[in-house]
Amino acid sequence: MMQILTGILALIAWLLWFAPFVRTPRAQAKPDAVDHRGRWGMFLQLASFVVLGLGPRASLDSWWRPALASVFFTLGIVLAWAAPRALGKQWRIEAALSPDHQLVTSGPYRILRHPIYASVICMLLGTGLMRTPLPRLAAALVLCAAGTEIRVRIEERLLAARFAERYAAYRRSIPAYIPFVR
């Protein structure tokens, strides 16, 4: 029974997480700066979720795993709803800048430079806590962090090239995707 309930909770969390990305219109203008290497980061992030599904499921005989998973799901959903709203039509799947791109520092971008990536990590942790033994969750987290780092570095190069000192100051004052970690 616990497996069914946690499965339903995870499904609802994922639907709530995906909704803002489907609802928020993406940039239509042809980008003038694109770096397709970010796809490697997406591949590693996706692979991290595949790792969660491999092998036997974790035992959910204690209360702490679903409780902690719920916290991560909630954080992930909140960030996923706030970040695309703050980006508006600048939101893209690819690492790219439009000719009229603005540096967004409002909403969740006041506390994290990459809140969408933070939300992905939260969803990974929530999902992993619901179904995956801890060693496999740790391996998935390493893969996801590697993919996130690739994407962050590529996007930050684009933003630094466009916004120079303004982005450098923002980068010095705001953590990337883990609060309090610079």
User: In order of start, what are the domains of the chain with their CATH numbers?
Assistant: 2-24+32-173 (1.20.120.1630)
112: alpha, beta or left, given left = phi > 0 and alpha = psi -120 to 50? beta
φ, ψ for residue 59, nearest 5 deg: -80, 135
* Residue pLDDT tens, the chain, 182 long: 677 888 888 899 999 999 999 888 776 778 888 888 999 999 999 999 999 988 888 777 778 888 999 999 999 999 999 999 999 888 888 888 888 889 999 999 999 999 999 999 999 999 999 889 999 999 999 999 999 999 999 999 999 999 999 999 999 999 999 987 76
Looking at residue 4, its amino acid is: I
* pTM: predicted TM-score of the whole model, two decimal places: 0.92
- Rounded to whole angstroms, the Cα distance separating 122 from 117 reads 9
The two three-digit tokens of residue 12, written as one number:
């609802």
